[in-house]
Amino acid sequence: MSLRISTGQLQQRAVDKMLQLQTQLSHTQQQVATGKQVLTPADNPSAAARALGLDREIAVTEQYQTNAALANDRQVREEDVLASVTDLLQRVSELVVQGNNDSNNAGDRRAIATELRERLDELLGLANTRDANGEYLFSGFQGNTQPFTHDGNGTFTYNGDQGQRFLNIGPGVQVAMTDSGDDVFQRIRGGNGVFTVVPDSANAGTGVITPGTVAGSFIPDTYTLSFAQVTASDPVTYQVRDSTDKVVTEGTYVSEADIGFNGAQVSVSGSPADGDTFEIRPSGHQDLFTTVCNLADAFAQAADDPTGRADLHNSVNRGLVELQGALENVVQARTRVGSRLNTIDSQKDGNDAYLLSSRTTLSSVQDLDYAEAVSRLQLQLTGLQAAQQAYLKIQGLSLFNYF
């Protein structure tokens, strides 16, 4: 039994085949133009889903890299500021040591006080540094609030908070943007870090006390070291009393000899007068600005007599150990910054490696093999041309041509 195909059917089949070949050719042309082998999910649903997931992971990792760059810039800016603060504190210490010499006259001490106040202004400027975006580095969460202000009378106020902003720089990896000004400039232990020694402002002698050291376990309390000399021919004696007025130690005063009690050890040089006292109390927190301000005031106000020089030496002894504590606090902040910079560098390297791997995988999933696509394009074009030529041959065929 023979199959009869009408002329119309024959031509329609030829047209359908040409349209099919044109569709295939157009698809291949789009692949070549875009460089993608998957143009729509229908082309390869599995590859399209995988490419979508890789695109999303790459976008997230690129955001991690953006965050890492931002955090790195903040850390570098903070490190620069803290390095300047370190240099400034070292200069302040040099000035204080230079001024703590009895060969200086009142004019010399005033000159030192003037430079100390200039360094104090510089220190305030550093503490109020802004980043590239105009936000203050050391205000905690209050980026638009100036962290430190000075009333001009020796009172320094922190206007920020204790917050630390964090950025995600990798999967499960966060890094702090900066340290709060409270941590860097304010939370500094006064005195030697455990207790503070303060001479009474009414002292009339030339006794100069050391900042003291901890010998064993210091028992926190407020102690009073007092000196007595009934007559000029009597030896100078001392007593240390606690906050309940109980005597914890006493003896005959010997210049520069250690006086130990309840885990504290101090020594006094010079000639304390009858009734002179020194208070030994647990260290509180004192901001760095107040430390420098107190030293400037001590040099500016020191009387040019033995008692005045003793007062200055006491202020300098306490101020130098407080400067050392402040310097150690700044060094610790710089150590934290260095640690964060190392974390950022390490994570950026990890992110770069992940991006390279993901992009390579994405390329294998969706990028076009140009050699194969161009060959296929040429083959499809040849096929379409052949179909078109064949159609030209058959479209004129008809039995009526033979009558």
Query: What is the pLDDT, as a whole number, of residue 55?
Result: 80
> What pTM, to 2 d.p., does this model score?
0.79
Note the pLDDT tens digit of each residue in 75-95: 999 999 999 999 999 999 999
Query: What is the pLDDT, as a whole number, of residue 163?
Result: 87
Note the pLDDT tens digit of each residue in 156-193: 999 999 888 899 999 989 999 889 999 999 989 999 99
Query: What is the pLDDT, as a whole number, of residue 133?
Result: 87
Query: What is the pLDDT, as a whole number, of residue 244?
Result: 96
C-alpha span between 341 and 349 (Å, rounded): 12
Query: What is the pLDDT, as a whole number, of residue 63?
Result: 95
Identify the three-state secondary structure at position 267: strand
Q: Give percent of the chain above pLDDT 70.
A: 78
Which H or E element spans position 313? Answer: helix 306-366
Instruction: Indicate the residue type of 400.
Output: F
- Which CATH topology does 54-190+321-354 take? f41 fragment of flagellin, N-terminal domain (1.20.1330)
Q: Where residue 18 falls among pLDDT bands split at 50, 70, 90? A: low
Note the pLDDT tens digit of each residue in 115-149: 999 999 999 999 999 998 899 999 999 989 999 99
C-alpha span between 238 and 276 (Å, rounded): 10
Which H or E element spans position 18? Answer: helix 7-34
β-partners of residue 201 are: none
Query: What is the pLDDT, as a whole number, of residue 97?
Result: 95
* Structure tokens belonging to residue 309: 């020089």
Q: Quick check: 32 and 376 in contact, CB under 8 A?
A: no
Poorest-confidence range of 11-20, 141-150, 328-337?
A: 11-20
Going by the DSSP 8-state scheme, the letter that residue 177 receives in this structure is S
Query: What is the pLDDT, as a whole number, of residue 152?
Result: 86
C-alpha span between 98 and 85 (Å, rounded): 20
Q: Which tops the pLDDT comparison, 23 or 127? A: 127
Positive/negative CA dihedral, 392, 395, 398, 403: negative
Q: Where residue 361 falls among pLDDT bands split at 50, 70, 90? A: confident
Q: Where residue 376 falls among pLDDT bands split at 50, 70, 90? A: low
Q: Where residue 391 falls among pLDDT bands split at 50, 70, 90? A: low
Can you give the residue ranges of every domain in the chain? 1-35+381-403, 54-190+321-354, 197-284
* Structure tokens belonging to residue 245: 């007025």
